[in-house]
Amino acid sequence: MTIFATILVFLIFLVSLIHHFWPRQIVIPRSSDIFLAGGWFTVFVILSVFTVCFNYIHFTSDSFVYEGAGRFLALSQQLDPNHSFTGVIVSARQIFIPAIHTAGPLFGFEYTYAIYPMIAIWFLGLFARFCWRIFKLLEIDPGMSVGLVLLGTLTLASMPAYIYHGLLVHSNLWAAVLFFIALMALFFYTIEAKRFWLPISSASLAMFAMARPEGIAFALIPLGLFAWRIRQQRKADLLLYFGLYLLIAFSWHINSLRIIGIGSGSHLDGRTILFGLAATLSLWSVAYLRPRFRKINFKLANLILTAFVLTLIAVAYIKSDNAIRCLVVLIVNMFEPYLWGVSWFVLGSLLTILTCVSKFKERGFFNMAVVAFVFLLLLIGFTKHPPRFGLGDSLNRMMFHIIPIVLFLVITHLGNLSKKYRIST
């Protein structure tokens, strides 16, 4: 059933793509965009294919290297030749996030420590290119645009967390790249009305959901914003949206298989399809019913915020030892370069955006999402026993995932200010 569900989901996505573009003419991106995207695609495909072949060949070998799907299967005592294809499917997390530690022994440590710095450098070029395109669309002074692009790129490159993840923790670097590409493609789709950006965003979100467990939560943010404007979308867009959502749901399902075990029955595959249907229908319902509930939006937001605060206070009182310890370590780690040294930058940037951007139509939705994210992290940390020092490592990873997009928003806001007040170099 896992194979059947995989084929079904990708067929739905393929049909939605065909219907999305046919009989319209596909608009080709600019040559520089093709070059930048091609670099990512080439590295991604080569390493992914190599990883799949490596896991498959050594699947039942006595000298099996305990990496990726093989490590999981060996620990689960399910190292069976009959499950080799299923094992490759379950290793989707390694397929979409190349397992360099698996490939390292074949090429030596020089290859392991060289490939991800190259990807990190390439991502800086991609980041600068996206910023430059946005500034041209905003008609910002060229001199100011160059200065802002250099400022943003150098800031990102000099951050200790970026250097650390670019050298060692490869999966989080890939997650940050995929999330940034997804949001930028969605952003270009909304301002340029070129429809090829939507499938690019969709594919990046699906791979992000496979890359990290928290990817499914992050993927809901741009999809929710897309559904929020669904009344203005065309039917072809809606069909593609439905197909990509199924793809993301299945990515989340594959990631869950890696944790709960293989041998899944049809009920898990059916649950995946139902998850995609229910989530999509829920977002559509919210979009269509939104105009009727405008009067209670403000009161509802206040009620939700009040509930968050009361819940957090109650949990902190019940788990006072954990809460105090986690809160103290949280504050300390925010200034530790190799833990959460980026937290002050991310949270400060978010507050700056929330207070300065007055024309953001989804501002209320965005505010509530940020508040809910912070409160949820604190709630998780307060309930851990024994206490997780500063909520563990998860916040550090998630902070790194959103650094590029937050930095992009900050320098874009600076560009808007320079245009508004006619500041130039």
Q: Is the pLDDT of residue 80 over 70?
A: no
**DSSP 8-state secondary structure symbol assigned to residue 385:** S
Per-residue pLDDT band for 170 (boundaries 50, 70, 90) equals: low
Residue 141 has pLDDT above 70, yes or no: yes
- Mean pLDDT for 54-66 is 43
pLDDT digits (tens, 9 = 90+) for 379-415: 655 665 544 444 445 555 666 777 777 777 767 766 7
Q: Do 118 and 47 meet the contact criterion of CB atoms below 8 Å apart?
A: no
CB atoms within 10 A of CB 155: 15
| DSSP 8-state code for residue 201 | H
Helix axes 100-107, 109-137, angle to 10 degrees: 130
Instruction: In whole angstroms, give the CA distance from residue 373 to residue 377.
Output: 6
Angstrom distance (rounded) from CA 345 to CA 352: 10
pLDDT at residue 172 in the model: 74
244 or 272: which leads in pLDDT = 244
pLDDT digits (tens, 9 = 90+) for 284-336: 555 555 555 555 455 555 665 666 667 777 777 776 777 777 667 666 666 65
Confidence of residue 362 (pLDDT cuts 50, 70, 90): very low
Q: Work out the burial of residue 272: count CB atoms within 10 Å of its CB; fewer than 13 is exposed, 13-18 middle, 19 or more buried.
A: buried
What rounded mean pLDDT belongs to the chain? 58
| pLDDT band at residue 226 under the 50/70/90 scheme | low
Task: Give the pLDDT confidence score for residue 419 in this predicted structure.
Answer: 65
Per-residue tokens: 314: 């109650």
pLDDT of residue 351: 55
pLDDT value of position 176: 80
**How many Å apart are CA 55 and CA 66, to the nearest integer?**
10
pLDDT in tens, 182-218: 777 777 776 666 666 766 776 677 667 666 656 665 6
- Which of 3-7, 45-49, 227-231 is least confident? 3-7
Angle at 251 between CA 250 and CA 256, to 5 degrees: 90
- Kindly indicate the confidence band of residue 364, based on its pLDDT and cuts at 50, 70 and 90: low
Taking CA 421 as the corner, what is the angle to CA 418 and CA 424, rounded to the nearest 5 degrees? Answer: 50
411 residue type, one letter: I
Higher-pLDDT residue of 139, 301: 139
How far is Cα 238 from Cα 265, in angstroms, rounded to an integer? Answer: 30
Confidence at residue 5, expressed as pLDDT on a 0 to 100 scale = 44
Task: Tell me the pLDDT band of 58, cut-offs 50, 70 and 90.
Answer: very low
Q: State how far the Cα of 245 lies from the Cα of 9, in Å rounded to an integer.
A: 10
What's the pLDDT score for residue 421?
Answer: 53
- Distances from the Cα of 397 to the Cαs of 23, 122, 165, 403, in angstroms? 42, 20, 9, 10
Once rounded to an integer, what is the mean pLDDT over residues 215-229? 60
